[in-house]
Amino acid sequence: MKNPPNQKGFAPIAILFSIVLISGIILGVYLVNQRTQFLPFASENGLNTLSSPVGPLDSDGDLWNDAQEIYIGTDPFSSCSKNKNKDAWPPDLNNNKVVNVEDYNSLKKAVESRQYSKRFDLTADGKLDSDDVLTLKKYIGQKCKIAKKVKDDKNNGSGQGKGNDSGN
């Protein structure tokens, strides 16, 4: 029996498509298992880490990598916000530019309530617990630092390059 004219060549295309699809799946599984820089979002503990050749990417220089800040909900391009309504520095939970007892009490209340919020998950491990409290305690008394503007050829000295903090 002859193939109808509109289905001529369908089988070879379907086979080729299947081979490409299966190859892609196999490659994806391999890369996830290798946790390569090609898949920067693969990690063991659920925390997505963005990497550069020299380590985790920290665009605002506040020592919290961009992936942590994205997960927590703070701005990875702003180390210390001038706007009290914008979360910039992860341990400063009330955005007053200093980590103090107010931040500690807010976090402790969130942990005790057992109501999960990424904003309080300072370890970015998907749970609120004593590890988050211990992480915050390391910052008690510290102030956030506004990154210095960087002058370079790419932005003609406008300060919009890496390390800039416009305070937005």
Q: pLDDT, tens digit, for every residue of 105-128?
A: 999 999 999 999 999 999 999 999
Residue 62 has pLDDT above 50, yes or no: yes
Q: Quick one: average pLDDT of 41-59?
A: 55
CA distance 161 to 7: 55
pLDDT tens by residue, 151-167: 433 433 333 344 444 44
Q: What is the b/e burial string over 69-91, where b = at least 16 CB atoms within 10 angstroms of the residue's CB?
A: bebbebbbbbbbbeeeeebbbbb
Do residues 162 and 150 lie in contact, with contact meaning Cβ atoms separated by under 8 Å?
yes
- Number of alpha carbons in the 13 Å side-chain half-sphere of residue 154: 5
* pLDDT at 11 (0 to 100): 72
Do residues 164 and 121 lie in contact, with contact meaning Cβ atoms separated by under 8 Å?
no
Lowest mean pLDDT among 4-18, 23-37, 48-62: 23-37
Query: Residue 10: which pLDDT band, with cuts at 50, 70 and 90?
Result: low
CA distance 65 to 79: 11
* pLDDT at 89 (0 to 100): 93
